[in-house]
A and B are shown apart, each in its own frame.
Chain A
Amino acid sequence: MGFKEFCFRKSLWVFHFGGASCNNCDIEIIDCLTPRHDLERFGILLVGSIRHADVLLVNGSINRRDKDRLLELYNQAPKPLLVVAIGACGCTGGIFAEGNTFAGPVDKIIPVDAYIPGCPPKPEAIIAGIVKLAGKKG
């Protein structure tokens, strides 16, 4: 077991970064934590500070104002860190990619480990993405 696998062996704590999004992905992420899906069963917890997190969830297209802040958050995070881009906007910029304030999809700014496409992805898809990621690393 390598160091990275060792780090992700137990409960994954998640920090959520909502970029310039339409809110749908944010709501679906919170939906994952509420009774129907309840990801907290598996120890997946939304935390208030990036310094406590194992996973950085990024959704929404990233505009010029968000870009530096996302980079700063990534730099502040303890490594190893898993970065997950959620939704069409997180993966490619989606419908907002042609916008005048668009500053590149998430993977142009920070390295991304997993993409969960969909507009918005269903909570089931988000869970499947996290499970795949955890399986790959753990």
Chain B
Amino acid sequence: MGRKTLIPIGPYHPLQEEPELFKLYCDGEIVTDIKWETGYNHRGIEKLSESKTYDQVFFLVERICGICSTSHPFAFANAVEEIAGIEITDRAKYIRSVIGELERIHSHLLWVGLAGHFLGYNTVFMWAWKYREPVLDLFEMITGNRNSYAMFKVGGVRRDIENQKIPAIRKEMSVMRKKLDLLTGAVMDDPVIHARTKGVGVLTQQDIIDYAAVGPTARASGVDIDVRRDDPYAAYPLVNWKVITAQAGDVFAKAEVRLLEMYESASIIEQCIDALEKMEEGNVALKINDIPEGIGTGRAEAPRGEVFHFVVSDGSNSPARHKIRAPSYTNIATFKKSCIGQTISDATISLAAVDPCYCCTERMAAAYDASTGEKILNANELINLSLKRTSEIRKSDAGHE
């Protein structure tokens, strides 16, 4: 038995731009166990959401995650529109899909770049991020901001994509395809990338089902799920596209799925702007006066997988309860399968392969004991505390009766 070594990655590690802590337990070069600690990024969004009006919540959920800053408003809009029974106009549907797919392209390019960086392949990093810039320029042209687009509202979108802007989008998409050809060719044919990613961080189909992983992580292991097709929303049922899957389940397959998905996104955008061009401008938002009492669930396919929002409305102008589940929440748990047994050098790319997003995931705060400042209550302990309190109240109530 060799000596067990603990290698901490984080919380403020130069490799990651977000704060989180991984503890890799190693026996020699081999990772034997992995634990992770989050909470550095907790902002209390679900609670904050209850203090904001439905119109304001969009600005808040957009800031759950800067990279998926369309997916969260998308899911929230779906949830609220389910409560109110609103069917948005076709033009608004197409605009929503255009923004959603542009986001997918920029997010996947960002991931390809970061994955290259984790492999020590900075050329891919610089290359992918250079190609990402024109997408952000499109966002700036359409919405006025490079990130956090503020495009969504209950009953439609906040601003139109005017027809005069459409040729620029179309031109960029055709240029983007050529760039993607170059990038995909370079990544798929590179012997170094093959050697570093094939057979690394393998997740089998059963692992995906066990851990309920979603998005490209699941699709790379042959699990054919995509909310855009399975639970259609916005303009996705109105255009032709296909769900990309791969079978191998390793890091290379995940890269392959993401690279090919970008082509599908470009195709969806082209079909949407063709449809937009044929319609009259304007009429992108319905006037919604109040949200009735009710419960709504909204799903949307973020670049990383399924975003789920659950909203309870009590008929007032702000949500009574707002629950958010981001894709990384389940995807991060697959590290237990993909990293253990790997060498340390392969662990980083296995960690990066699911494109984990911690600011999406941070939904739970640990409680400190105020008197000692030491004890931390975890989720189970908090639940036990709550159960205990309920049983006590029950007992005392029973005593009264």
Contact = CB atoms under 8 A, between A and B. Distances in A.
Given A23-B357, A24-B148, A69 B66 contact: no
A46 interface: yes
Contacts of A36: 129-130, 133
A135 interface: no
A27 B147 contact: yes
A92 interface: no
Given A95-B60, A96-B48, A23 B43 contact: no
Interface stretch (A1-9, A99-107, A109-117): A99-107
B12 A17 contact: yes
Contacts of B51: 98
Interface residues of A, number: 42
A65 B42 contact: yes
A99 B48 contact: yes
B207 interface: no
Q: Pick the most buried of A22, A23, A101: most chain B CB atoms within 10 A of its CB.
A: A22
Contacts of B354: none
B47 A100 contact: yes
A65 B146 CA distance: 30
A60 B63 CA distance: 11
A29 B147 CA distance: 13
A129 to B, nearest CB: 16
Nearest to B358: A23
B44 A22 contact: no
Contacts of B147: 24, 27-28, 120
Nearest to A19: B19
Contacts of A18: 12, 17-19
Contact of A48 (B14, B19, B146, B357): B14
A31 B129 contact: yes
B48 A73 contact: no
A100 B40 CA distance: 14
Given A18-B17, A34-B126, A65-B42, A24 B66 contact: yes
Contacts of A94: 63
Interface string B342-367: 00000000000000010100100100
A20 B55 CA distance: 24
A27 B359 CA distance: 13
B48 A23 contact: no
Nearest to A36: B133
Interface in A57-74: 60-61, 63-66, 69, 73
B130 A27 contact: no
Nearest to B12: A17
A122 interface: yes
A22 B110 contact: no
10 contacts: A17-B12, A18-B19, A20-B40, A24-B147, A30-B17, A31-B129, A36-B133, A66-B19, A95-B63, A96-B45
Interface of B: 11-14, 17-19, 39-45, 47-48, 51, 59-60, 63-67, 69, 110, 113, 125-126, 129-130, 133, 146-148, 357, 359, 362, 365, 368
Given A22-B148, A24-B66, 12 more contacts: A16-B14, A19-B19, A24-B148, A26-B66, A30-B17, A34-B129, A47-B14, A95-B59, A96-B63, A101-B44, A102-B44, A119-B63
